[in-house]
């Protein structure tokens, strides 16, 4: 009996200890933890194969089976290729559109649209009249529209150049001859002017004006008026338009001016050239020589048909012309004159702006040289300046609309 009492466990029963342990744990755990542990969980997403309200059932196991990496790469390559093609086409179209627009603007600027008007003013000749203004000294000038050379004198007074020659092989200091102040002076009237440009960028080189001796205008009037109407003393608007079309025609205009110059009409004339940028005489000389050589075949061919034999060698005459330009710089805004005398001889005159005034640089007696040089501005398929030719033609038409023998009182 004593042994049985000794073997009995002394602690509380097992159920009692488990309940006490759970109670103590519950008392030690925070309230928030118990709340989170007992919070309801969200319902899980439906299985992959389950149909939903807005989308059909999908089987995720087939997505990877249908994935084709090669096809995806080809599709991407084709997309990038089409994208590049569209970009290249857009860039090319923009470039073409820009060039076409620039060309159309240039055409409009070169050929402005003139509004029609009633009466005599409807003629395109009258619309091209130039404005004559007076400077602060009271002299008549014509605006050129050029910022470097803003105006040309309406009339030009030039001393008598007869007897003034230059030594061909002499240096510049002794080659130039100053025109005497007491020489006989002749007045020249401006017929037309324009700006000489080169290259497709229209780089301006010089402003050129064509002058005719005032006393010789009547002879030019008579030849042109009688050519259109033998019994008239002046031309009416329709006849003026016909003459203007003939002078502007490349072939007919060149033939007309060639015949007039060969006959010495007008007897005295000159071209006044003023550079708009600093240049040199060799550069100007090369341009003039190319112009002479371009017109020489027509003149020599016509001379061969007429059987002229007592004429000097044309090549030597061109060399004489080249020697007249054996100088250095030709500053801008300085005057260069090429004067054609009554006998067809050519004299090159330059004014460097110093106190010495105009100086004769050289002369060429062969009239074919001056005629070829004149045709470079007056007629032909390709002239030195188309604007200059049109302005000269407008000036000539202004002369023929007045009675023969009267001096034009206003520049066209």
Summarised one tens digit per residue, pLDDT across range 231-244 is 888 888 899 999 99
What local confidence, expressed as pLDDT, does residue 9 receive? Answer: 47
Which of the listed CATH numbers 3.10.20.30, 3.40.50.2300, 3.50.70.10, 1.20.810.10 matches domain 153-400?
3.50.70.10
What local confidence, expressed as pLDDT, does residue 161 receive? Answer: 63
What local confidence, expressed as pLDDT, does residue 233 receive? Answer: 85
Residue 217 pLDDT level (bands cut at 50, 70, 90): very high
Q: What is the Cα–Cα distance from 151 to 153, expressed in whole angstroms?
A: 7
pTM of the model: 0.65
Q: What would the pLDDT profile of 28-39 be if each residue is shown by its tens digit?
A: 555 544 444 554
What local confidence, expressed as pLDDT, does residue 93 receive? Answer: 93
Query: Per-residue pLDDT averaged across 45-69, rounded?
Result: 61
Q: What would the pLDDT profile of 106-124 be if each residue is shown by its tens digit?
A: 888 877 655 444 444 444 4
Provide CB contacts within 8 A for 252, sequence distance 6+.
246
What local confidence, expressed as pLDDT, does residue 52 receive? Answer: 58
Provide CB contacts within 8 A for 388, sequence distance 6+.
192, 193, 194, 195, 196, 208, 210, 377
Q: What is the Cα–Cα distance from 333 to 275, expressed in whole angstroms?
A: 6
Provide CB contacts within 8 A for 57, sequence distance 6+.
49, 50, 51
């Amino acid at each position: 009996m004593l042994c049985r009492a000794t073997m009995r466990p002394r602690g509380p029963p097992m159920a009692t200890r488990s309940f006490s342990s759970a109670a103590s744990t519950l008392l030690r755990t925070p309230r928030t933890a118990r709340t989170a542990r007992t919070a309801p969980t969200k319902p899980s997403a439906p299985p992959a194969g389950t149909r939903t309200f807005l989308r059909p059932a999908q089987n995720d196991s087939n997505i990877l089976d249908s994935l084709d990496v090669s096809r995806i790469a080809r599709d991407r390559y084709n997309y990038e290729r089409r994208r590049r093609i569209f970009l290249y086409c857009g860039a090319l179209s923009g470039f073409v559109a820009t060039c076409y627009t620039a060309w159309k603007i240039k055409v409009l600027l070169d050929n402005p649209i003139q509004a029609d008007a009633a009466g005599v003013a409807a003629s395109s000749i009258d619309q091209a009249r130039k404005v004559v203004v007076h400077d602060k000294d009271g002299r008549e000038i014509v605006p050129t529209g050029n910022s470097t050379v803003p105006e040309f004198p309406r009339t030009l007074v030039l001393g008598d150049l007869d007897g003034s020659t230059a030594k061909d092989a002499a240096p510049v200091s002794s080659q130039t001859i100053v025109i005497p102040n007491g020489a006989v002076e002749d007045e020249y009237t401006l017929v037309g002017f324009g700006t000489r440009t080169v290259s497709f960028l229209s780089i301006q080189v010089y402003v050129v004006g064509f002058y005719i001796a005032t006393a010789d205008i009547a002879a030019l009037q008579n030849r042109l008026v009688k050519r259109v109407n033998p019994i008239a003393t002046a031309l009416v608007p329709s006849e003026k338009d016909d003459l203007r079309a003939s002078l502007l025609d490349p072939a007919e205009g060149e033939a007309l001016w060639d015949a007039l110059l060969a006959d010495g009409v007008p007897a005295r004339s000159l071209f006044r050239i003023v550079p708009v940028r600093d240049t040199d005489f060799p550069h100007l000389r090369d341009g003039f020589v190319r112009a002479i050589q371009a017109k020489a075949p027509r003149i020599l061919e016509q001379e061969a048909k007429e059987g002229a034999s007592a004429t000097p060698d044309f090549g030597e005459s061109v060399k004489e012309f080249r020697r007249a330009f054996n100088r250095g710089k030709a500053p801008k805004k300085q005057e260069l004159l090429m004067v054609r005398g009554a006998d067809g001889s050519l004299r090159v005159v330059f004014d460097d702006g110093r106190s010495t005034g105009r100086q004769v640089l050289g002369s060429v007696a062969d009239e074919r040289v001056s005629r070829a040089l004149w045709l470079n501005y007056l007629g032909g398929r390709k002239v030195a300046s188309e604007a200059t030719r049109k302005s000269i033609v407008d000036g000539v038409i202004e002369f023929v609309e007045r009675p023969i023998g009267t001096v034009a009182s206003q520049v066209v």
